[in-house]
Amino acid sequence: MRVELRGITKRFPGVVANADVDLEVDGGQVLALLGENGAGKSTLMNVLFGLYEPDGGEILLDGSPVRFASPAASIAAGIGMVHQHFMLVPVFSVLENVMLGVETTTRLGGLDRRAARARLVELSAAYNLQVDPDADVEDLSVGAQQRVEILKALYRQADCLILDEPTAVLTPPEIDDLFRIITTLTESGRSVIFISHKLGEVRRIADRITVLRRGEVVGTTTPAESSEADLAALMVGREVQLVVDKSPARPGQPVLRVEGLRVLDERGVAVVDGVSFEVAAGEIVAVAGVQGNGQTELVEALAGLRAVDAGTVHLDGEDVTGLQPRRLLERGMAHVPEDRQRDGVVGAFPVRDNLVLNTFRRRPFARGLRIDRRAIRDNASRLMADFDIRAASPEVAAATLSGGNQQKVIVAREFGHADRLLIAAQPTRGLDVGSIQYIHRRIVDKRDEGAAVLLVSTELDEVLALADRVIVVFRGHIVGTVPRADATRDHLGLLMAGATA
Amino acid sequence: MSAALARAGRVALVPALAIFSALAVGGLIIVVSDSTALRDWSSFVANPGRALSTSWDVVSGAYGALFRTSLGGRRAISETLLEATPLVLTGLSVTFAFRAGLFNIGGDGQFLAGALTSVYVGFSLDIPAALHLPLALAAGVAAGALWGGIAGVLKARTGAHEVITTIMLNFVALRLVDYALSTDVFRRTGRSDPISKQVLETARLPRFSDDLRVHAGLVLALVTAYGVWWLLFRSTTGFRVRAVGASPSAARYAGMAVGGTWVLSMLVAGGLAGLAGATTVLGVRFSLTGGFSNLGFDAIALALLGRSHPAGVVAAALLFGVLRAGATGMAAEASTPVDIIVVIQALVIVFVAAPSLIRSVYRIGAGRGTGPVAFSSSWGS
């Protein structure tokens, strides 16, 4: 199906999310919609999916104009959308999720599972979307849940599929699977709109690429015509360097010393076992590894958020094992948490309060019991300027900010008191190139100011860009410590897969 | 200042329309429950004028009596303020806990714990008024805080849901009061029914005038409302309470003690409900009898109507005071059943809880600052 958007404009109070956007995709084609976080990609797709009504412009399907009052209308017209956050009922089976809302019934009014199952199995086979129809969705991997979402759309006879940041949650092999699925879909004549901010992926999968910046189309191109650097420049409006400029580290005294650390997960299994390492002042140590090899638990234990089962943690020579987060904070430790929406900000609080979330008790923000609102406001204005936090005002709720701006709020807050040790867990996950560069720069600055930095990242590019030393973890153990000079992508990749150094 | 007023106006718009709608629907129910009006409606086609005029007479008679007995004259206003006094305090109790993300359904139990302790101090000590009254009030606050604090500790230590524990603690308090009133320590000499000894003069809250029942507890309640506002929105404690309420995980990552905040919030909430119990026995009743006051349950409605803000709670408590004080007059003068007041109270809540209903009926846009206070979002979580 050929989908065309002409002159779509969508305004929200105070912002123009989409300004006069044109976009088209033919049947059998993949169109990539590329843009930074907050560029208006999701809004545009929500317009196409019938969630928002545009303030101007029109939508054409196979040349004829349509109006969608609701997602139901859009689905009926053959549009399918796979949201970034899956819309599945966790306790329902795959089959039930797929049927939900379009149940076929038998003559007696019961669910016709047999017919539904037959179609589901047929679709799975035709598009190579392997998934067990009777498995409960909550037991499936993220990749499999995504396949269920795609099946749901196909079951509703979608002719055009919108995939919103589909690779954000996938492992590399799952991404390869997804791309194979997309190819099968286009071979059957369907059109696919692939929303992403990952340049490499976009060039790999797309037939055409439309770049959005601040709600406007700034260019439409093809992978053959544009390099990653070209796309990045279009996206952020300036030439970007994907490498961080930094001088060699000058490590000083050890700040963080971890010895024989063992940490248990909720089931009582040791997910960090016998881990020992040091981080010195003025160096960045990166913990690399495939997600789920104990990094989350390691960071939580270091930050005082999870019990230490065995071993010790020393900060500046003092035993801080098992200390409360607040005590660690007082000793100059800062923590950028992995799950920023859940753990990093209080969504309902205004930006200004989020910027003092862990320092509100101190002067100048409080005098005794009394909060100094002026000091908090001044602090917010200063940090919002310093860290380029884009929000309408310090009063808006943090939940209304884009992911990149939320992360900047956290970084601005945490870097303010990261005097001795900064622990940054996945600091740039899901962010756009501009924000990534900015945060990388700030991390290096923090190192150069003499702080010890522990970076935990599953992105090799990030590890290679920032680290002075790389620790590779696998199944809760350190399988190798590599100086930056010896760290190559291949070498680290082998270690991450479990090969011993 | 005018911006602040405009904002307050926007915030109050939906509750005001909800009250209006509730009175309108209540009027319909009054008509339907009146036999004369019903008879005239059955002959509506023959004589439409009479049906309408009878209905008007019935409704205006009932509401006239309602407002005359609650707002017409100083004695009426005194009764309204008297009814509102404990409601302000229990409403604040629910509000404070809610800001910490907790549902305090235990207002009645905390009220009883406070009332029982205050009454005891009130009748058993023979000390000067300057000491006696503050001591009796403080004892009520402490007992209420203890009763609320139990639920807080259970939640923080074991994860027991506060909705369950506070409801159960209500019944424990109820039976505890029954038991206390059956012992010689509490039971009034020479009485066989469960009624406590009288609070001594030295422990009674002073009245504004000899012929009016409204007492200094009102001032106490209003000062407390200001204090709760300050604590919630101007102090580090309130910052912590609201952060824990809005996102326990982010609060924990920011180094706040989530469990400790829960305990603290339930202590404060319990103390507020306990103060309501104390002012009731030290200001109006001067003794304690068994049974729930239902003030704790009404308080949930008040907090909802007042959008979990102390100023809103005070306004809502005054409204409920009007309805409660007017109910008796309405029944006496217009022979409208008292139950209609309960129906109107319930309708106010329904309309407030469904702001989109009000918005669509009156065709007002979804203004900023009047966004839903998701009062019912975390039930059962």
Reported as a single tens digit per residue, the pLDDT across A88-109 is 898 899 999 988 887 777 777 7
pLDDT tens-digit map of B319-356 = 999 988 988 888 888 777 878 888 888 888 788 777 77
Closest Cβ–Cβ partner in A349, A353, A370 for B234 = A370
Q: Cα separation of A169 and A142, whole Å? A: 7
Is residue A428 over pLDDT 70?
yes
Q: Tell me if chain A has a CB within 8 Å of the CB of B292.
A: no
Q: Do B250 and A345 touch (CB under 8 A)?
A: yes
Token digits for B24? 């309108």
Token digits for A49? 């999916």
The reply to whether A94 falls in a domain is yes
Q: Do B253 and A361 touch (CB under 8 A)?
A: no
Q: Tell me if chain B has a CB within 8 Å of the CB of A344.
A: yes
The structure's pTM equals 0.76
* DSSP string covering A102-128: S--B-TTSSB-HHHHHHHHHHHHHHHT
The reply to whether A188 falls in a domain is yes
Same-domain check for residues A365 and A454: yes
Bridge-partner residues for A3, per DSSP?
A: A25, A61
Q: What residues in A contact B258, CB-CB < 8 Å?
A: none
A90 phi/psi in degrees, rounded to 5: -60, -35
Q: Cα separation of A154 and A80, whole Å? A: 8
Bridge-partner residues for A195, per DSSP?
A: A33, A164
Q: Do A325 and B255 touch (CB under 8 A)?
A: yes
Q: Tell me if chain A has a CB within 8 Å of the CB of B251.
A: yes
Residue B263 near residue B152 (C-beta atoms within 8 A): yes
pLDDT given for residue A14 in this prediction: 56
Q: Tell me if chain A has a CB within 8 Å of the CB of B366.
A: no
Q: Do B242 and A349 touch (CB under 8 A)?
A: yes
The reply to whether A246 falls in a domain is no
More confident: A276 or A139: A276
Q: Do A366 and B257 touch (CB under 8 A)?
A: no
Average pLDDT value over all residues in chain A? 87
Contacts of residue B301, Cβ cutoff 8 Å, sequence gap at least 6: B316, B320, B345, B348, B349
Q: Tell me if chain B has a CB within 8 Å of the CB of A410.
A: no
Q: Do B247 and A337 touch (CB under 8 A)?
A: no
Residue B106 near residue B148 (C-beta atoms within 8 A): yes
The reply to whether B303 falls in a domain is yes
Is residue B373 over pLDDT 50?
no
Q: Tell me if chain B has a CB within 8 Å of the CB of A335.
A: yes
To the nearest whole Å, the CA of A441 is away from the closest chain B CA by 24
The confidence band for A493, taking pLDDT boundaries of 50, 70 and 90, is confident
pLDDT tens-digit map of A356-382 = 999 999 889 999 899 999 999 999 999
- Classify the phi-psi angles of B307: left when phi > 0, otherwise alpha if psi is within -120 to 50, otherwise beta: left
Q: Do B252 and A325 touch (CB under 8 A)?
A: yes
The confidence band for B366, taking pLDDT boundaries of 50, 70 and 90, is low
Q: Tell me if chain B has a CB within 8 Å of the CB of A303.
A: yes
Q: Stretch B137-154: mean pLDDT, rounded?
A: 97
Count Cα atoms within 13 angstroms, Cβ side, for A283. Answer: 19
pLDDT given for residue B374 in this prediction: 41
Q: What residues in A contact B256, CB-CB < 8 Å?
A: 326, 358
Q: Cα separation of A160 and A10, whole Å? A: 22
The confidence band for B189, taking pLDDT boundaries of 50, 70 and 90, is confident
Residue A475 belongs to domain with CATH number: 3.40.50.300
Q: Cα separation of B291 and B271, whole Å? A: 20
Element (H, E) at A48: helix A41-48
The confidence band for B369, taking pLDDT boundaries of 50, 70 and 90, is very low
Contacts of residue A263, Cβ cutoff 8 Å, sequence gap at least 6: A270, A271, A272, A294, A297, A298, A300, A301, A306, A307, A308, A309
Q: Cα separation of B261 and B245, whole Å? A: 9
ipTM field:
0.83
Q: Cα separation of B35 and B13, whole Å? A: 35
Task: Write down the residue that tokens 């990093």 correspond to.
Answer: A344
pLDDT tens-digit map of A25-41 = 999 999 999 887 667 88
Contacts of residue B159, Cβ cutoff 8 Å, sequence gap at least 6: none
Q: What residues in B contact A326, CB-CB < 8 Å?
A: 255-257
pLDDT given for residue B370 in this prediction: 39
Q: Tell me if chain B has a CB within 8 Å of the CB of A347.
A: yes
CB atoms within 10 A of CB B105: 23
The most distant pair of C-alpha atoms in chain B lies apart, rounded to whole Å, by 75
Percent of chain B with pLDDT over 90: 58
To the nearest whole Å, the CA of A129 is away from the closest chain B CA by 35
The reply to whether A248 falls in a domain is no
Q: What residues in B contact A367, CB-CB < 8 Å?
A: none
Q: Cα separation of A457 and A463, whole Å? A: 7
A93 phi/psi in degrees, rounded to 5: -75, 170
- Determine the residue among B252, B253, B368 to mutate to test chain A binding: the one whose Cβ has the most chain A Cβ atoms within 10 Å: B253
Q: Do A370 and B251 touch (CB under 8 A)?
A: no
* DSSP string covering B221-290: HHHHHHHHHHHHHHBHHHHHHHHHHH-HHHHHHTT--HHHHHHHHHHHHHHHHHHHHHHHIIIIISS-BS
The confidence band for B145, taking pLDDT boundaries of 50, 70 and 90, is very high
Q: Tell me if chain B has a CB within 8 Å of the CB of A326.
A: yes
Q: Stretch A204-220: mean pLDDT, rounded?
A: 89
Q: Tell me if chain A has a CB within 8 Å of the CB of B249.
A: yes
The confidence band for B190, taking pLDDT boundaries of 50, 70 and 90, is confident
Q: Do B254 and A357 touch (CB under 8 A)?
A: yes
Q: Do A346 and B251 touch (CB under 8 A)?
A: yes
The confidence band for B282, taking pLDDT boundaries of 50, 70 and 90, is very high
Bridge-partner residues for A162, per DSSP?
A: A81, A193
Token digits for B204? 């009674």
Q: CA-nearest residue of chain B to A359?
A: B254
Same-domain check for residues A48 and A14: yes
Is residue B92 over pLDDT 90?
yes
Is residue B381 over pLDDT 50?
no
The reply to whether A197 falls in a domain is yes
Which of B296, B298, B272 minimizes the C-alpha distance to B169? Answer: B296
Q: What is the DSSP secondary structure assignment for residue A190, as one 8-state letter?
A: -
Element (H, E) at A221: strand A216-221
The confidence band for A179, taking pLDDT boundaries of 50, 70 and 90, is very high
Same-domain check for residues A416 and A317: yes
Same-domain check for residues A270 and A197: no
Q: Cα separation of B253 and A330, whole Å? A: 14
Q: Do B246 and A326 touch (CB under 8 A)?
A: no
Q: Do A370 and B255 touch (CB under 8 A)?
A: no
Q: What residues in B contact A305, CB-CB < 8 Å?
A: 252-253
Q: Tell me if chain A has a CB within 8 Å of the CB of B275.
A: no
Same-domain check for residues A220 and A284: no
Chains A, B: CB contacts within 8 A come to 66
Whether residue A364 has a cis bond before it, omega within 30° of 0:
yes
Q: Of the ranges A127-131, A417-421, B152-156, which one carries the lowest mean pLDDT score?
A: A127-131
To the nearest whole Å, the CA of B363 is away from the closest chain A CA by 19
Q: Stretch B293-313: mean pLDDT, rounded?
A: 89
Q: Cα separation of B107 and B103, whole Å? A: 10
Token digits for A290? 């495939």
Range of the structural domain that residue A158 is part of: 3-236
Percent of chain A with pLDDT over 70: 96
Q: What is the DSSP secondary structure assignment for residue B197, as one 8-state letter?
A: P
pLDDT given for residue A238 in this prediction: 52
Q: Stretch B106-127: mean pLDDT, rounded?
A: 96
The reply to whether A137 falls in a domain is yes
Is residue B375 over pLDDT 60?
no
Q: Of the ranges A6-15, A177-186, B134-143, B358-367, which one carries the lowest mean pLDDT score?
A: B358-367
Q: What residues in B contact A347, CB-CB < 8 Å?
A: 246-247
Same-domain check for residues A417 and A357: yes
Q: Tell me if chain B has a CB within 8 Å of the CB of A361.
A: yes
The reply to whether B278 falls in a domain is yes
Q: Do B252 and A361 touch (CB under 8 A)?
A: no
To the nearest whole Å, the CA of A409 is away from the closest chain B CA by 13
pLDDT tens-digit map of A33-74 = 988 766 788 889 999 999 899 999 999 999 899 999 898 899
Distances (CA, A) of B311 to A477, B8, B302, B316: 56, 10, 11, 9
Q: Cα separation of A191 and A2, whole Å? A: 7
Q: Tell me if chain A has a CB within 8 Å of the CB of B257.
A: yes
pLDDT given for residue A11 in this prediction: 83
Q: Stretch A381-397: mean pLDDT, rounded?
A: 91
Report how many domains make up chain B. Answer: 1
Same-domain check for residues A331 and A469: yes
Q: What residues in B contact A337, CB-CB < 8 Å?
A: 253
Q: Tell me if chain B has a CB within 8 Å of the CB of A332.
A: no
The confidence band for A143, taking pLDDT boundaries of 50, 70 and 90, is confident
Q: Tell me if chain B has a CB within 8 Å of the CB of A369.
A: yes
Same-domain check for residues A56 and A168: yes
pLDDT given for residue A37 in this prediction: 65
Q: Tell me if chain A has a CB within 8 Å of the CB of B188.
A: no
Same-domain check for residues A132 and A278: no
The most distant pair of C-alpha atoms in chain A lies apart, rounded to whole Å, by 78
Count Cα atoms within 13 angstroms, Cβ side, for B321. Answer: 24
pLDDT given for residue B50 in this prediction: 84
Q: Tell me if chain B has a CB within 8 Å of the CB of A370.
A: yes
Q: Cα separation of B239 and B227, whole Å? A: 15
Distances (CA, A) of A190 to A23, A49, A144, A207, A290: 16, 16, 21, 13, 34
Q: Stretch A283-305: mean pLDDT, rounded?
A: 89
Report how many domains make up chain A. Answer: 2
Q: What residues in B contact A373, CB-CB < 8 Å?
A: 234
pLDDT tens-digit map of B204-219 = 999 998 899 999 999 9
Q: Cα separation of A402 and A389, whole Å? A: 10
Task: Write down the residue that tokens 């958007």 correspond to.
Answer: A5
Q: Do B255 and A358 touch (CB under 8 A)?
A: yes
Same-domain check for residues A324 and A421: yes
The reply to whether A249 falls in a domain is no
The reply to whether A48 falls in a domain is yes
To the nearest whole Å, the CA of B255 is away from the closest chain A CA by 4
Q: Tell me if chain B has a CB within 8 Å of the CB of A349.
A: yes
Q: Tell me if chain B has a CB within 8 Å of the CB of A310.
A: no
Same-domain check for residues A160 and A282: no
Range of the structural domain that residue B73 is part of: 2-362
DSSP-derived pairing of the beta strands A254-264 and A310-315: antiparallel
Q: What residues in A contact B251, CB-CB < 8 Å?
A: 346, 357
Residue B124 belongs to domain with CATH number: 1.10.3470
Tell me the H-state helices in chain B: 2-32, 35-42, 48-71, 74-99, 107-124, 129-158, 162-182, 217-234, 236-246, 248-253, 258-280, 295-305, 310-334, 339-353, 355-362
To the nearest whole Å, the CA of A443 is away from the closest chain B CA by 20
Q: Do A329 and B234 touch (CB under 8 A)?
A: no
